[in-house]
Chain A
Amino acid sequence: MPKLNRDTRTDVTFTLNGKKVTARSEPRLLLTDLLRHELGATGTHVGCEHGVCGACTVRIDGEPARACLTLAAQAEGADIQTVEGLEPEPGGMSPLQAAFREHFALQCGFCTAGILISLKALFDRKPGASEQEIREQLSGHLCRCTGYTPIVRAALAAQAQMREEEPRNA
């Protein structure tokens, strides 16, 4: 990574949902602001800007991370996935997204993108995660609408669906 200077804007290049993107960034720009305001990827939301609420969670090289605590410059060369990258095709839904709809696991939808990303990361890493592990993963997210129960249900349903489909896809 080049040495950054406070007063100069530099290019940041990374992979966003499978596509290479480049954007100008000053050193202090947050990844959330780069994604949302420079690249127009507004699906990632900003809830607290201090890493507690989890709304801004994105995957950086596969791992869930708080985009609000990440500088844009740190994304250089990384592989980043946001909620916009979960959709299999326009108008379609991944099993996780479909399960959220089926189980009414969202109301206002503001925290949802971060939750979907966290669960996707968990299931990619550990397809057979237990309910307790799912809950632990979800404990990094605040939702004020649902009372969480439908989110846990949706996660379990999506997990079952994905495990059922896996052999067929293999």
Chain B
Amino acid sequence: MTVNPPADRWVGRSVPRIEDAALLTGRGRFIDDLPTHAGTLAAAILRSPHGHAAIRSIDATAALASDGVVAVVTGDDVQRLTRSMTVGVKANVECWPIATDRVRYVGEPVAIVVAADRYLAEDAAERIAVDYEILPAVVDPEAALGSDAPVLHPSLGSNLINERSFSYGDPDGAFAGAAHRIAVEIAYPRNSCTPIETYGVVAGYDPGEDAYDILANFQGPFSIHAVVARALKVPGNRMRLRTPPSSGGSYGIKQGVFPYMILMGVAARIAGRPVKWVEDRLEHLAASVSATNRVTRLEAAVEADGRITALAFDQIEDCGAHLRAPEPATLYRMHGNMTGAYAIANVSIRNRVVLTNKTPTGLNRGFGGPQIYYPLERLMQRIARQLNLDPLDVVRRNLIPANAFPYRTATGALLDSGDYPAALERAVVEGGLGELVERRTNARAKGRLYGIGMAAVVEPSVSNMGYITTVLTPGEREKAGPKNGAQATATIAIDPLGSVSVKVASVPQGQGHRTVLAQVVADALGLEPSAIAVVADVDTARDAWSIASGNYSSRFAPAVAGAAKLAADRIRAKLEAVAAGQLNTMPADVVFAGGRAASRSNPDNGVSFARVAAAAHWAPGTLPETVDQTIRETVFWTPPELSAPNGSDEVNSSLCHGFIFDFCGVEVDAVTGEARIDRYVTMHDCGTILHPAMVEGQVRGGFAHALGAALYEEYAYGADGSFQSGTLADYLIPTVMEVPEPVILHHETPSPFTPLGAKGVGEGNCMSTPACIANAVADAIGVDDLDLPLTPSKIAGLLAGPERQAKNPPRQAREAQPGGRRKLTGEGAAEVAASREAVWKMLLDPATLEAIIPGSHGVTQVSDTHFTADVTLGVGPVKGRYKAEIELFDLDEPNAVTLRGTTTGALGFGEGEGRITLSDTGTGKTRIAYTYEAGIGGKVASVGGRLLDGAARVVIGQFFKALANHAGGANGPGTGLLARLKGLIGGRS
């Protein structure tokens, strides 16, 4: 850190956090810690195991008869009692918080069980029978645009829900006259900052007032309050939303709890009692929200010296199965600063928003930034490589010059302040770039793979609430009326003993807002921070708030702390007048310091702060005429710079723009492909720093998130829409062993647009770090095309080049490659001591099947070639009951038969097909050859995929041995052919 704490004020010092005493002693007040109304019920949600399926029927009879169950809520109930959630674009599509006629992603709610406790609710949820008709799924955003792609929402006609094109300056002219055209193509993956505390909601409904009272660990923005109230068909003042005092992290993700507010509101209304729901980890990973995945083609018009004259973006944004508020905001949050830290006058943008069979997206730290800066900063490196220039020189040549601020970008942002060249040069020197270059030279001389990457980004903060309307055409915007601004609010109150309380609507998720507010107000009133009490959670029925309230777009330091300063200044001005009367001096002579008000010219003439502050309570008659009261002061502040998008689609999407310049040295292990960060340097200009340790904490935290995104984390889906990252052992979050310590540098240029000169700092590394690390890896291994996450296997694959065909392809099962789909295929053969006819008979005999299927509760023969069975199967401790359907077809007696089977149960589903060929090898023996293909989905695929492949292979190996035993008349181990197939296709083996 290069920040020197000021001596004369609290702001700027790393004071201990007032939040910590409670959090360190187990006295936090997180949502699941709070008391609930007596009689509150628990909810469990039954979710879709399929990526795409029509719901034929839902039978809740058995669930309703289960112990402790009070109600089962389905899509029909939700449609009856609510209206579709507002969609942010003009499109003929509905958006429900629960499946109505079809499911469109794994994890989509299908029914809610309300019961006496969570255990009983979960028991009952497993007893709901849903009949699905599985539909083809599409998970790839480009494939979703294909004319033959399955359409998620028939009313839309296609999966393209919005398209807009923009042109700023003269991009065509710039490209036509360019010396070079250089492009990158990027598929940015899905990931999530995954807070350790999951979602929670407690909802109540009062039929007398037709009013909902909802407690949720929601983080804002409170524009969502309007979405929820409209959906619940009540006025805003009948939708009381409260947040708990503590929240276990969010990073944007807890914005996505709002559909559950609607669901639990409906559940409470139907149950007639309050309902509490706490999400579990599988639910969170599969079905909360994530960042968008995006396919981008970005092309630059480049002069011979590396100067960029134009950018052309073609972006395909994948918002998942529904366009849920505030999406497609991820695509538009950065619209004003698409040119990053560079002075580029000509820009064209084509934006398409598509829907796929994946979980709907939402806020995630860095919101829209990684998806822009990854292509942009990879492109900067590509330009340097292609033109044989130093990447640092390409960055330098394009940076916005220091004297250009405030700088209006081509797409409309007004960059408030900065000195990008100075910050960059300081980082190069203080971070030791030269030393890294030397290390690279030495490492390469020894044949090691060492690379250097860099990234320069502009970090926007304090979102313009109108930026999302850039998705509408100017004509549509005109009709809807302008949207703009970002109302921040703070209230300061003084009680009869003269002590000071602060109330804001910033809804912190761990950042330490209360501490900083105490510092800001203590400075204004001459008090100790410990003397100030601060409340930062929200009760919409009682507090001052606006649609912009909440904890997002890094708005706390620039906007909320600024509003608190304005409120404190306003109340201090009044208190100066009151004190002047008490001290018999002029207001301008009054100074507040050390808990006292005193005369500046005669410091002995003083009085305690409390005596001045409490006068409005005890003796309002003594207040000067200019002072109405000093009991409570509420300030609303919205910056005038945040205007609505104009007729040319230019938008100042954020108020503040910080600057970041990162570089790093990375060594890649040539054998394992593991990328190890040698040194990571991150230079920040976030304006005035209010609390250096908290700024450092934000940088470190963002860096760790970004490291995960760069190297480990991805929400993986199979081609059928199955979700494959359902545990924290599948979705790998960096631990202390993986996160290096970054070198953090600061270059402060205060924002002229915020009361304290502060800018946001919470999200920047999520924007810069993934690109910076990828650039270093690309430099180390000498490749151009790199998509995240850069796992060792991916890097090793790039190092190895295309795999050579093995001489003897393995005959055992192996996983099919495309799309990471969890599909097993294989083939094999065995010889048994029985005639073909005998084996054939066995395959078609229900009595044999009954005898050899383990865990069978009865095999029913529907027709000669169609059987159903009820089986209990288990892997390890996880036991489940399944319904199996097996059909035989393409019968070629006694030579060959195809088996096709499906199994369904509470833990998931499976389907498979196998062709069995019987041939006579003489002396009464038969050779059985088989090929098979099987796939699994649902919960088992999400949480157990890693185990299942191996288990399935073992089963296939044993499969014919068991048949051979049976054919030989021996009492085999009860491992019949169909049982094994079923075990496999049931995903249970």
Question: What are the residues of chain A within 8 A of B249 when measuring CB–CB?
Answer: 107-108, 110, 144-145
A50 touches B510 (CB 8 A): no
B704 touches A42 (CB 8 A): no
A47 touches B733 (CB 8 A): no
Q: How far is the CB of B729 from chain A (nearest CB, A)?
A: 6
A135 at the binding interface (Cβ < 8 Å)? yes
Q: How far is the CB of A79 from chain B (nearest CB, A)?
A: 18
Q: From B285, which residue of chain A is reached at the shortest CB distance?
A: A48
Instruction: Please judge, given known A-B contacts A52-B727, A52-B729, whether A109 and B24 are in contact too, CB under 8 Å.
Output: yes
* A123-170, CB < 8 A from B: 135-136, 138-152
Question: What are the residues of chain B within 8 A of A86 when measuring CB–CB?
Answer: 25
B614 at the binding interface (Cβ < 8 Å)? no
| Interchain CA distance A108-B31 in the complex, whole Å | 13
| Interchain CA distance A147-B113 in the complex, whole Å | 38
B24 touches A101 (CB 8 A): yes
A50 touches B728 (CB 8 A): yes
| Interchain CA distance A101-B509 in the complex, whole Å | 17
Point out the residue from A102, A112, A116, A148 that lies within 8 Å of B16, measured CB to CB.
Answer: A102
Q: From B729, which residue of chain A is reached at the shortest CB distance?
A: A52
Question: What are the residues of chain B within 8 A of A116 when measuring CB–CB?
Answer: 24
Question: What are the residues of chain B within 8 A of A146 when measuring CB–CB?
Answer: 697, 700-701, 704
Instruction: Please judge, given known A-B contacts A50-B728, A135-B736, A139-B736, whether A106 and B251 are in contact too, CB under 8 Å.
Output: no
Q: How far is the CB of A87 from chain B (nearest CB, A)?
A: 5
B30 at the binding interface (Cβ < 8 Å)? yes
A97 at the binding interface (Cβ < 8 Å)? yes
A151 touches B697 (CB 8 A): no
A21 at the binding interface (Cβ < 8 Å)? no
Q: How far is the CB of B440 from chain A (nearest CB, A)?
A: 25
Q: How far is the CB of B280 from chain A (nearest CB, A)?
A: 6
Question: What are the residues of chain A within 8 A of B246 when measuring CB–CB?
Answer: 108-109
Could you tell me how many residues of chain B have their Cβ less than 8 Å away from some Cβ of chain A?
53
Q: How far is the CB of B758 from chain A (nearest CB, A)?
A: 18
Point out the residue from B198, B247, B251, B704 that lies within 8 Å of A147, measured CB to CB.
Answer: B704
B247 touches A106 (CB 8 A): no
B687-724 vs A, CB cutoff 8 Å, 1 = contact: the mask equals 00000011011001101110000000000000000000
B281 touches A139 (CB 8 A): no
| Interchain CA distance A135-B714 in the complex, whole Å | 25
A120 at the binding interface (Cβ < 8 Å)? no
A41 at the binding interface (Cβ < 8 Å)? yes
Q: How far is the CB of B241 from chain A (nearest CB, A)?
A: 20
B510 touches A108 (CB 8 A): yes
A55 at the binding interface (Cβ < 8 Å)? yes
Question: What are the residues of chain B within 8 A of A87 when measuring CB–CB?
Answer: 25
Question: What are the residues of chain B within 8 A of A97 when measuring CB–CB?
Answer: 24-25
A109 touches B510 (CB 8 A): yes
A9 at the binding interface (Cβ < 8 Å)? no
| Interchain CA distance A150-B17 in the complex, whole Å | 14
A82 at the binding interface (Cβ < 8 Å)? yes
A59 at the binding interface (Cβ < 8 Å)? no
Point out the residue from A42, A91, A140, A152 that lies within 8 Å of B32, measured CB to CB.
Answer: A42
Instruction: Please judge, given known A-B contacts A109-B19, A109-B248, whether A93 and B24 are in contact too, CB under 8 Å.
Output: yes
Question: What are the residues of chain A within 8 A of B512 when measuring CB–CB?
Answer: 107
| Interchain CA distance A112-B249 in the complex, whole Å | 12
Q: From B19, which residue of chain A is reached at the shortest CB distance?
A: A109
A152 touches B736 (CB 8 A): yes
Instruction: Please judge, given known A-B contacts A47-B196, A52-B727, A142-B735, whether A93 and B21 are in contact too, CB under 8 Å.
Output: yes
Question: What are the residues of chain A within 8 A of B9 when measuring CB–CB?
Answer: none
| Interchain CA distance A158-B247 in the complex, whole Å | 26
The 5 A-B pairs at the shortest CB distance, nearest first, are namely A43-B26, A108-B510, A110-B248, A109-B23, A147-B700
Beyond the given pairs A97-B24, A108-B246, A147-B700, 12 more chain A to chain B contacts, judged by CB atoms under 8 angstroms and listed by A's residue number, are: A44-B26, A52-B727, A52-B729, A86-B25, A91-B21, A93-B24, A108-B509, A111-B196, A112-B24, A113-B26, A142-B196, A143-B196
**A-B contact list, 15 entries, CB within 8 Å:** A36-B33, A48-B728, A50-B943, A83-B26, A84-B25, A104-B17, A108-B247, A109-B246, A110-B195, A111-B196, A136-B737, A138-B735, A144-B249, A146-B700, A149-B700
